[in-house]
Chain A
Amino acid sequence: MTADLSRWTPQPRAAGVTYISAEAKATLDLSESRVQGLADEATWDMATSLGLSPQLTTGAVLGDLVEQGHDIVVCTADLGRPTQVIGFGRKYPDRYFNFGIAERNMIGAAAGLATTGHIAVISNYSFFLALMGVENIRNDICYPGLNVRMIGTHSGIAMGFYGTSHHCNEDIGALRAIAGLTVMAPCDGMAIRAAFTNTIAHHGPVYLRAGRGREKPVYSAPPNFRIGGSNTLREGKHATVLAIGNLVSASLDAAEILAAEGIELGVVDMYSIAPIDKEAIHRAAVAHGVVITAEEHNVSAGFGSAVAEVMAEEGLAATLVRIGMPDQYSLLGPPTHLYCHYGLDAEGVAASVRKVLRKGVGKGLA
Chain B
Amino acid sequence: MQTKKTSRPQHAVSRELLREKARLIRLETLRMTDICGSGHYGSSFSMAEIVAALYYRFMHVRAGEPQWPDRDRFTMGKGHAAIGLFPVLSDLGFFPQTWLDNYTRFKSPLGDHPDMKKVPGVDFSSGSIGHNLSVSVGMALGTRRRGSPARTVCLMGDGEQTEGQVWEAAISGAHWGLDNLVGIVDINAAGSDGDPQETMKTEPLRAKWEAFGWRTFVLADGHDLDAVSATLQAALNEPDGRPTCVLAYTVSGKGVSFMEHGWQWHLGFLGPKDLQQAYKEVLEGSVG
Cα-based distance from A49 to B128 in the complex (angstroms): 21
From A10, A18, A33, A331, give the contact of B37 (CB < 8 A).
A18
- Is B288 located at the chain interface by the 8 A CB criterion? no
**The stretch of B58-66, B137-145, B169-177, B272-280 that contacts the partner chain:** B272-280
A33 close to B264 (CB less than 8 A)? yes
- A100-B162 contact in complex given A164-B125, A333-B108, C-beta closer than 8 Å: yes
- Is B266 located at the chain interface by the 8 A CB criterion? yes
B127 close to A38 (CB less than 8 A)? no
- Is B1 located at the chain interface by the 8 A CB criterion? no
From A1, A10, A39, give the contact of B34 (CB < 8 A).
A10
CB distance from A158 to the nearest CB of B (A): 13
Which B58-77 residues have a C-beta within 8 angstroms of A?
Answer: none
From A43, A78, A81, A341, give the contact of B106 (CB < 8 A).
A341
- A332-B271 contact in complex given A19-B37, A101-B159, A165-B126, C-beta closer than 8 Å: no
Cα-based distance from A78 to B195 in the complex (angstroms): 10
A162 close to B111 (CB less than 8 A)? yes
From B35, B200, B263, B267, give the contact of A99 (CB < 8 A).
B200
CB distance from B248 to the nearest CB of A (A): 18
Which A311-364 residues have a C-beta within 8 angstroms of B?
Answer: 331-334, 337-338, 341
- Is A229 located at the chain interface by the 8 A CB criterion? no
Q: A12-46, CB under 8 A of B: which get 1 and which 0?
A: 00101111000000000000111001111111111
Cα-based distance from A160 to B264 in the complex (angstroms): 23
Residues of A close to B126: CB separation below 8 A:
165
Residues of A close to B272: CB separation below 8 A:
10, 40, 42
- Is B112 located at the chain interface by the 8 A CB criterion? yes
- A163-B115 contact in complex given A78-B196, A333-B107, A334-B106, C-beta closer than 8 Å: yes
B112 close to A161 (CB less than 8 A)? yes
- Is A132 located at the chain interface by the 8 A CB criterion? yes
- Is A177 located at the chain interface by the 8 A CB criterion? no
- Is A214 located at the chain interface by the 8 A CB criterion? no
Q: Is the interface of A mostly helix, strand, loop or mixed?
A: loop
Cα-based distance from A40 to B112 in the complex (angstroms): 24
Interface size on A, residues (CB 8 A): 60
- A331-B192 contact in complex given A101-B160, A165-B79, C-beta closer than 8 Å: no
Cα-based distance from A348 to B163 in the complex (angstroms): 40
- Is B95 located at the chain interface by the 8 A CB criterion? no
- Is B36 located at the chain interface by the 8 A CB criterion? yes
From A8, A39, A40, give the contact of B30 (CB < 8 A).
A8
- A45-B36 contact in complex given A166-B113, A334-B106, C-beta closer than 8 Å: no
- Is A202 located at the chain interface by the 8 A CB criterion? no
A78 close to B192 (CB less than 8 A)? yes
A39 close to B162 (CB less than 8 A)? no
- Is A310 located at the chain interface by the 8 A CB criterion? no
B193 close to A332 (CB less than 8 A)? no
Cα-based distance from A102 to B111 in the complex (angstroms): 24
B273 close to A39 (CB less than 8 A)? yes
B268 close to A164 (CB less than 8 A)? no
- Listed by A's residue number, 17 A-B pairs whose Cβ atoms lie within 8 Å are A5-B283, A8-B279, A9-B279, A10-B272, A17-B37, A19-B269, A38-B273, A38-B274, A40-B272, A44-B269, A45-B268, A46-B263, A78-B199, A100-B162, A100-B199, A162-B113, A166-B113
| B residues lining the A interface (CB < 8 Å) | 20, 23-24, 27, 30-31, 34-38, 79, 104-113, 115, 118, 125-130, 159-160, 162-164, 191-193, 196, 199-200, 202, 258-259, 262-277, 279, 283
| A residues lining the B interface (CB < 8 Å) | 1, 3, 5, 7-11, 14, 16-19, 32-34, 37-49, 76, 78-82, 86, 98-102, 104-105, 127-128, 132, 160-166, 331-334, 337-338, 341
Given contacts A10-B276, A102-B163, A333-B108, 6 further A-B contacts (CB under 8 A): A1-B27, A11-B35, A16-B106, A41-B271, A78-B162, A101-B160
